[in-house]
C-alpha cells in the first residue's frame, strides 16, 4: 500500500492470527490507538511493563487477615432473675413509702394551719358572744321593767322612763361567727388528720347553735318592726324620737295620743318580746359553751397552744 493511502485511512491494518490447534482465527485484545498522520507515535521501549506475580503462599495471607468473633452471651440463672426482680420491687416500694411520708407531712402541716386558724376564729367568736350576751341581758332587763310599768295606771306612769325603756328595747346586737376556718376544714375532710377525729361533729354542733341564734335574732327584729315601731310612730313626739335615735337626752316627757289602752297593748307586746329576748340570751350562752368545747378539743387534739 502506498504512503498516500496510509495517510488517508490513518490506521494500520492488523494481521490475522490463526490458532495452532483449530486453524481458526484468534482475536487479539483490541487496543485503540490514535495515529497522527503527521507525527506518528513512537514506542517507549525504555519502560518495561510491570507484571504482578501470583502469591506463592495463600495460607500466610489468610492468617494475617483480622477475624471478628461474636461476643458470647452469659446466661443467667433463675436466682439472678429473682434477685433482680426483688431489687426492682424494693426500689418501687421505697419510692411509694417516701411519697406517702412526704404527703403525710404536707397534710399534717396543712391540717395544723387550718386548726390554728380555727382556734383564732373561736377565740374571736367567744369574745363577741360575751359582748352580745351582756348587751342582750341589758335589753332583757329593759323589757321586764317596761312590761311592769306599762301595766300601771296612765296617771301614775313615768312617761319619760317608758320612752327610754322602749328605745333600749328597740336595740339588738346580732352575732355573726367568723366561720372561715371551719368552712375550709369541711372541704378538707379527706385528710387523715380530720377524717379520724371528731372535729366535724363539734363543728356541726357549733354551727347548729349559730343557726338557732340567727333564727331568734330574726324573730326579735320582726317584733321590733311589728310591735315597737308602730308605738314609736303614734306616740313619740318628733323631737323626742329624733333625740332618742341620735343618742341624745330626751327634751321632755311628752307623748302624743297616749291612752290606757295603748299602755295595755304595749304591755302585751312586751310580754312576747321579752320571751324572745330571754331565749336569745340563752341561745348566746349555749353557743358560747359549744364554741368553748370545740376550742378545747382542737387545742388538745392538734396540740395547739392556748
pLDDT tens per residue across span 228-238: 999 999 999 99
pLDDT(47) > 70:
no
pLDDT(9) > 90:
no
pLDDT(294) > 90:
yes
- Predicted pLDDT of residue 113: 92
pLDDT(244) > 50:
yes
| Within a domain: 288 | yes
Q: Which residue, 199, 209, 195, 175, is CA-closest to 118?
A: 199
| Within a domain: 131 | yes
- Predicted pLDDT of residue 90: 82
| Within a domain: 152 | yes
Q: How confident is the model at residue 152 (pLDDT cuts 50, 70, 90)?
A: very high
Number of domains in the chain: 1
DSSP 25: E
Strand pairing of 25-26 and 17-18? antiparallel
Q: What is the dihedral of CA 43, 48, 49, 54, to 10 degrees?
A: 160
- Predicted pLDDT of residue 43: 45
| Within a domain: 183 | yes
| Within a domain: 96 | no
Domain enclosing residue 130, as ranges:
106-301
Q: How confident is the model at residue 25 (pLDDT cuts 50, 70, 90)?
A: very low
User: Which of helix, strand or coil describes residue 89?
Assistant: helix
| Within a domain: 284 | yes
CB of 162 closer than 8 Å to CB of 205: no
Give me the residues paired with residue 25 across strands.
18
Distance CA 301, CA 104 (A): 17
| Within a domain: 67 | no
- Predicted pLDDT of residue 70: 53
Mean pLDDT to the nearest integer, 245-268: 94
Distance CA 164, CA 159 (A): 9
Mean pLDDT to the nearest integer, 95-107: 71
- Predicted pLDDT of residue 10: 45
What is the average pLDDT score of the chain? Answer: 81
Q: Does 189 or 65 have the greater pLDDT score? A: 189
| Within a domain: 53 | no
Which of 46-60, 92-106, 122-136, 175-189: highest mean pLDDT? 122-136
Q: Does 275 or 179 have the greater pLDDT score? A: 275
Amino acid at each position: 500500500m502506498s504512503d498516500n493511502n496510509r495517510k488517508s485511512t490513518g490506521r494500520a491494518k492488523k494481521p490475522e492470527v490463526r490458532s495452532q490447534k483449530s486453524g481458526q482465527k484468534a482475536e487479539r485484545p483490541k487496543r485503540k490507538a490514535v495515529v497522527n498522520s503527521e507525527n506518528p507515535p513512537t514506542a517507549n521501549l525504555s519502560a518495561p511493563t510491570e507484571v504482578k506475580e501470583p502469591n506463592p503462599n495463600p495460607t500466610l495471607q489468610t492468617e494475617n487477615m483480622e477475624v471478628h468473633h461474636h461476643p458470647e452471651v452469659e446466661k443467667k440463672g433463675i436466682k439472678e432473675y429473682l434477685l433482680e426482680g426483688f431489687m426492682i420491687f424494693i426500689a418501687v416500694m421505697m419510692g411509694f413509702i417516701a411519697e406517702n411520708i412526704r404527703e403525710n407531712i404536707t397534710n399534717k402541716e396543712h391540717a395544723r394551719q387550718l386548726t390554728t386558724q380555727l382556734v383564732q376564729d373561736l377565740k374571736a367568736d367567744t369574745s363577741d358572744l360575751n359582748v352580745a350576751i351582756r348587751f342582750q341581758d341589758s335589753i332583757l332587763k329593759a323589757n321586764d321593767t317596761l312590761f311592769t310599768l306599762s301595766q300601771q295606771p296612765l296617771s301614775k306612769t313615768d312617761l319619760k322612763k317608758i320612752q327610754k325603756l322602749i328605745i333600749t328595747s328597740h336595740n339588738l346586737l346580732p352575732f355573726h361567727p367568723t366561720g372561715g376556718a371551719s368552712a375550709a376544714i369541711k372541704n378538707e375532710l379527706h385528710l387523715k388528720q380530720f377524717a379520724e377525729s371528731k372535729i366535724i361533729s363539734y363543728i356541726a354542733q357549733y354551727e347548729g347553735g349559730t343557726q338557732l341564734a340567727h333564727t331568734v335574732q330574726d324573730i326579735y327584729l320582726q317584733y321590733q318592726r311589728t310591735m315597737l315601731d308602730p308605738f314609736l310612730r303614734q306616740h313619740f313626739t318628733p323631737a323626742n324620737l329624733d333625740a332618742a335615735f341620735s343618742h341624745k337626752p330626751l327634751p321632755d316627757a311628752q307623748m302624743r295620743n297616749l291612752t290606757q289602752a295603748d299602755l295595755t297593748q304595749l304591755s302585751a307586746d312586751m310580754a312576747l318580746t321579752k320571751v324572745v329576748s330571754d331565749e336569745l340570751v340563752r341561745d348566746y350562752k349555749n353557743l358560747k359553751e359549744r364554741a368553748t368545747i370545740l376550742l378545747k378539743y382542737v387545742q388538745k387534739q392538734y396540740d395547739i397552744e392556748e
